[in-house]
Amino acid sequence: MLTVRKAEERGHANHGWLDSYHTFSFADYYDPQEMGYGPLRVINDDSVQPGQGFGTHGHRDMEIITYVLEGALAHQDSMGNGSTIVPGDVQRMSAGNGVRHSEYNHDKVGTTHFLQIWIEPSVTGIAPSYEQKHYDAAAKRGRLHLIASPDGAEGSVRIHQDARVYAALLDGAERAAHRLAPGRRAYVHLARGRLSVNGHVLGAGDALKLADLQEVVLEEGDDAEVLLFDLN
């Protein structure tokens, strides 16, 4: 099974300071056919204006991954963490039994563009925790690089779910393939550029659901930055 999810089909909310596209039902956007895909619950494609951001707010029992595409995002949380997330960084916050945090673009002129991803955990009520790692462009060039996994394999951030997240940069003749184990499914989200996935051409913001297949093939990229989710 292959199902394309076009960028223009996503939910959209423009608040002035925040321009947000919702892949799955979120906030005021509700589509009973798009409530998530397996444990993957949220992919929000957010652009935050200079000097703006999300004030302190709370989360519980969710694995939250932040992936910055452009600009910088300043993070503060109730665990005492303070950091700035830039392109190449992957931040993982396990909300567990409760955490509060804020996210701001402190730049005076540039927009911060990032993806915020929520994955439902396999355990609830745990102590909240935080992790941030950097993966440079060379690590993702022409290949799928593991950035999140349940066991922290290959230097990835650790999430509390049987899910693996890969990132790749593909252009020209570069090609990457990922084999799916029996019973697994995949979700491919193209953050920018153009890319062919199993023969389906995707543009920026497009996605593809894949199930009952043995392999996911990514090729014919045009300045493509892509995330692949291997899900139970």
Which of helix, strand or coil describes residue 179? Answer: strand
pLDDT confidence of residue 76: 97
d(CA 68, CA 99): 21
pLDDT confidence of residue 25: 98
pLDDT confidence of residue 231: 98
Report the alpha-carbon angle 224-229-232, nearest 5: 165
pLDDT means per 10 residues in the chain (232 residues)? 96 98 98 97 98 97 98 97 97 98 97 98 97 98 98 98 98 98 98 98 98 97 98 96
Which of helix, strand or coil describes residue 32? Answer: coil
pTM: 0.97
- Dihedral angle computed from the Cα positions of residues 163, 55, 131 and 80, in that order, rounded to the nearest 10 degrees: -140
Which of helix, strand or coil describes residue 56? Answer: strand
d(CA 48, CA 50): 7
pLDDT confidence of residue 31: 97
